[in-house]
């Protein structure tokens, strides 16, 4: 726990407090309406506890362990993606190469090789995956296969690895939050935005925002969630990040906006394959990608905005 | 084989090594590297006698089916495996019999000996038997016609429940003839137990029908 600043520890307590409060409310609702079935909601809350416990454990140990943890998350996400999409028999060895990108990408994080971290998947994997496919020689469906595998690699490994790189950014430039502070800040705001958009949509939702992809999402939900997220971002940024007031507003809009885009992009893929969830790995939530959808967009974009201003 | 067919195959099992093998290699492989989605897990029978009947695509199938049981139950599980393959060399024979605990089955029935004697004996000792009626792993992720040996076995043990299990994905992760494991989430669909129906064709229809229903439940696209 020594690598965590006081502010990070306070945010962890706040998150545990919020979750305790939701658990308490859940039990009160259940007690007042015992006739209804609350299994799904209970599984959802229980899974939140488990995920938060694992995340807190990972970021409060050393940076190395946290990097291994995020590499494992990428592995689970890529595996889930590759199990969901149709792959060709002849692609097995190409998929193996895609998996190999995970340890390499996170190794680059751990040695702080910033430029290589940025270009390894967008340049080298981009050029080498088709080469591996050419060596196998199955040309039927070549481009389709290549496109789907590469997209998955970008989303589940490249995008998510930015979370891990936040951990190794120069801590002297962020004395109040440190690397763990930035990670927790981003994850907290992204998940908060998901929930705020959902609640705001339930309360005020009228006009569908993107009916062909996500029929339950509304303009009112999006805007209400965005306002709440921007306010929260302004409130907590001074304690966990080096961002000033104006930059905090920008980051708030970015997290709310791109969180939404990530969410509906994964929704579009699920719709494409006719599934409700990307898997049933997390009881009550669905798959890993169902939980990480917004984060796959907010992580790289927040990272680059932050590094533009400070690193 | 001769009269000594009534040998109890659990005598050949190295219980300690088997426990360690499943605890530190097989279970982590199945639950962390591969990842199992066990559907209808409430239909799992926790004690024998029982026959688990599954489709066969990969060497992972047996290990996956054994992994869905607690470590303390694994000692009572015996996969039936072709003696011509698994006893073909000394090392593989030792591994198959001492660690996995297979009951060898002679696929070429040229003798008058009873090929099922060991299986019937194991069931009498309340063991759980794993059987792959497709006979071999075949083309990965394709369901082949079941051989009728299972019907003969069911007829001899009409009181023993038979649990159909449909496996999906293991043939993608490690197909026949490949040594490179590529991780995929794999599905294990447990079916309702069935019993010997009284005649061979209705029994096979029931078993294959149950299997097809489980396969359909996954709504998987073919692996081309």
Mean local confidence (pLDDT), A267-277 = 90
* Interchain CB contact of A54 with B (< 8 Å): no
Tokens of A245: 């007031």
With b for 16 or more beta-carbon neighbours within 10 A and e for fewer, the A264-294 pattern comes to bbbbebbeeeeeebbbebbeebbbbbbbbbb
How close are the terminal C-alpha atoms of chain A, in Å?
Answer: 25
Confidence of residue B111 (pLDDT cuts 50, 70, 90): low
- pLDDT value, residue B1: 39
- pLDDT value, residue B2: 40
Check residues A105 and A38 and name the one with the higher pLDDT: A105
Mean local confidence (pLDDT), B135-158 = 82
Cβ-defined contact of A92 to B182 (cutoff 8 Å): yes
- pLDDT value, residue B4: 42
**Main-chain phi, psi angles of A218, to 5 degrees:** -125, 160
Nearest chain A Cα to B171, which residue?
A89
Confidence of residue A2 (pLDDT cuts 50, 70, 90): low
Instruction: Answer yes or no: are the C-beta atoms of B79 and B130 closer than 8 Å.
Output: yes
* Contact residues, chain B, for A76 at CB < 8 Å: 35
Question: What does the alpha-carbon distance between residue A138 and residue A136 come to, in Å, rounded to a whole number?
Answer: 6
Cβ-defined contact of B185 to A88 (cutoff 8 Å): no
Cβ-defined contact of A92 to B35 (cutoff 8 Å): no
Lowest mean pLDDT among A268-277, A290-299, B10-19: B10-19
* Contact residues, chain A, for B140 at CB < 8 Å: 89
Average pLDDT of chain B to the nearest whole number: 86
* Contact residues, chain B, for A139 at CB < 8 Å: none
Confidence of residue B106 (pLDDT cuts 50, 70, 90): confident
Lowest mean pLDDT among A165-174, B132-141, B211-220: B132-141
- pLDDT value, residue A225: 96
Give pLDDT tens digits for A62-80: 889 999 999 999 999 999 9
* Interchain CB contact of B221 with A (< 8 Å): yes
* Interchain CB contact of B19 with A (< 8 Å): no
Using left for φ > 0, alpha for ψ between -120 and 50, and beta otherwise, residue B40 falls in left
Give pLDDT tens digits for B2-27: 444 445 555 678 888 999 999 999 99
* Contact residues, chain B, for A80 at CB < 8 Å: 185
- pLDDT value, residue A239: 94
- pLDDT value, residue A112: 94
CA atoms in the 13 A half-sphere facing the CB of A263: 20
Instruction: Answer yes or no: are the C-beta atoms of A296 and A162 closer than 8 Å.
Output: no
- What number is the ipTM of this complex? 0.84
Which residue of A82, A99, A279 is in closest CB contact with B37?
A: A279
Give pLDDT tens digits for A102-131: 999 999 999 999 999 999 999 999 999 999
Nearest chain A Cα to B169, which residue?
A83
- Domain B3-218 CATH class label: alpha beta
- pLDDT value, residue A261: 96
- pLDDT value, residue A122: 97
Estimate to the nearest angstrom the gap between the alpha carbon of A118 and the chain centroid. 18
Determine which helix (DSSP H) or strand (DSSP E) holds A77, and give its type and residue range: helix A63-84
Confidence of residue A281 (pLDDT cuts 50, 70, 90): confident
- pLDDT value, residue A1: 53
Around Cβ A223, how many Cβ atoms within 10 Å? 16
Please check the confidence at residue A37 and state whether its pLDDT lies above 90: no
- pLDDT value, residue B169: 92
Closest CA to A26 of A4, A58, A49: A49
* Contact residues, chain B, for A274 at CB < 8 Å: 219
Instruction: Answer yes or no: are the C-beta atoms of A90 and A138 closer than 8 Å.
Output: yes
Distance in Å, alpha carbon of A137 to nearest chain B alpha carbon: 15
Estimate to the nearest angstrom the gap between the alpha carbon of B6 and the chain centroid. 21
Domain ranges in chain B?
3-218
Please check the confidence at residue A262 and state whether its pLDDT lies above 90: yes
- pLDDT value, residue A192: 96
- pLDDT value, residue B3: 41
Confidence of residue B217 (pLDDT cuts 50, 70, 90): confident
Determine which helix (DSSP H) or strand (DSSP E) holds A290, and give its type and residue range: helix A288-309
Mean local confidence (pLDDT), A260-284 = 90
- Cis geometry, peptide bond prior to residue A237 (ω within 30 degrees of 0): no
- pLDDT value, residue A36: 82
- pLDDT value, residue A14: 96
Closest CA to A72 of A294, A288, A306, A307: A288
Cβ-defined contact of B185 to A279 (cutoff 8 Å): yes
Please check the confidence at residue A212 and state whether its pLDDT lies above 70: yes
Confidence of residue A33 (pLDDT cuts 50, 70, 90): confident
Longest dimension (CA), chain A: 64
* Contact residues, chain B, for A89 at CB < 8 Å: 140, 175, 223-224
| Sheet of strand B103-105: strand arrangement | B36-39, B186-190, B162-168, B50-54, B128-131, B77-82, B103-105
Average pLDDT of chain A to the nearest whole number: 94
- CA B158, B161, B167 angle in degrees (round to 5)? 130
- pLDDT value, residue B112: 64
Distance in Å, alpha carbon of B100 to nearest chain A alpha carbon: 27
* Interchain CB contact of B17 with A (< 8 Å): no
Q: β-pairing, B162-168 with B186-190?
A: antiparallel
* Interchain CB contact of A289 with B (< 8 Å): no
Instruction: Answer yes or no: are the C-beta atoms of B133 and B167 closer than 8 Å.
Output: no
Question: What does the alpha-carbon distance between residue B26 and residue B66 come to, in Å, rounded to a whole number?
Answer: 9
Cβ-defined contact of B172 to A280 (cutoff 8 Å): no
Question: What does the alpha-carbon distance between residue A292 and residue A285 come to, in Å, rounded to a whole number?
Answer: 11
């Amino acid at each position: 726990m020594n690598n965590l600043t006081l502010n990070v520890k306070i945010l962890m307590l706040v998150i545990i407090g919020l979750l305790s409060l939701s658990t308490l409310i859940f039990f009160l609702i259940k007690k007042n309406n015992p006739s209804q079935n609350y299994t799904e909601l209970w599984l959802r809350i229980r899974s939140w506890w488990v995920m938060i416990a694992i995340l807190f454990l990972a970021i409060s140990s050393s940076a190395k362990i946290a990097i291994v943890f995020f590499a494992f998350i990428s592995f689970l996400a890529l595996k889930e993606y590759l199990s969901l999409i149709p792959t060709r028999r002849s692609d097995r060895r190409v998929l193996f190469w895609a998996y190999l990108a995970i340890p390499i990408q996170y190794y680059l994080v751990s040695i702080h090789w910033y430029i290589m971290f940025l270009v390894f998947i967008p340049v080298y994997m981009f050029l080498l995956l088709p080469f591996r496919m050419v060596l196998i020689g199955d040309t039927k469906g070549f481009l389709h296969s290549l496109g789907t595998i590469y997209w998955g690699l970008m989303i589940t490994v490249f995008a998510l690895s930015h979370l891990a790189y936040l951990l190794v950014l120069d801590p002297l430039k962020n004395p109040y939050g440190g690397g763990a502070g930035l990670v927790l800040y981003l994850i907290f705001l992204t998940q908060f935005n998901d929930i705020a958009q959902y609640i705001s949509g339930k309360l005020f939702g009228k006009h569908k925002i993107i009916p062909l992809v996500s029929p339950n999402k509304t303009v009112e939900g999006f805007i209400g969630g965005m306002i709440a997220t921007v306010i929260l971002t302004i409130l907590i940024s001074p304690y966990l990040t080096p961002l000033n007031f104006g930059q905090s507003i920008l980051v708030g809009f970015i997290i709310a906006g791109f969180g939404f885009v990530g969410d509906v992009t994964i929704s579009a893929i699920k719709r494409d394959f006719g599934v409700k969830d990307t898997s049933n790995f997390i009881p009550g939530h669905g798959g890993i990608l169902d939980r990480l959808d917004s984060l796959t967009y907010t992580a790289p974009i927040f990272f680059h905005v932050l590094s533009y201003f400070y690193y | 084989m001769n009269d000594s067919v009534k040998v109890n195959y659990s005598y050949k099992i190295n219980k300690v090594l088997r426990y360690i093998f499943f605890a530190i290699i097989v279970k982590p492989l199945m639950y962390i590297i591969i990842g199992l989605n066990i559907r209808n897990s409430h239909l799992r029978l926790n004690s024998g006698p029982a026959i688990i009947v599954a489709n066969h695509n990969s060497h992972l199938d047996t290990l996956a089916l054994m992994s869905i049981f607690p470590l303390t139950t694994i000692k009572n599980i015996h996969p039936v495996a072709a003696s011509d393959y698994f006893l073909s060399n000394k090392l593989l024979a030792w591994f198959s019999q001492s660690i996995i605990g297979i009951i060898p089955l002679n696929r070429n029935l040229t003798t008058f000996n009873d090929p099922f004697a060991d299986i019937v004996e194991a069931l009498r000792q309340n063991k759980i038997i794993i059987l792959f009626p497709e006979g071999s792993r075949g083309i990965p992720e394709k369901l082949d016609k079941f051989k009728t040996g299972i019907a003969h076995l069911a007829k001899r043990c009409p009181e023993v429940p038979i649990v159909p299990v449909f496996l999906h994905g293991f043939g993608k992760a490690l197909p026949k003839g490949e040594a490179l494991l590529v991780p995929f989430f794999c599905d294990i669909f447990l079916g309702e137990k069935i019993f010997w129906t009284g005649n061979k064709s209705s029994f096979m229809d029931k078993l294959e029908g149950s299997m097809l229903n489980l396969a359909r439940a996954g709504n998987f696209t073919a692996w081309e």
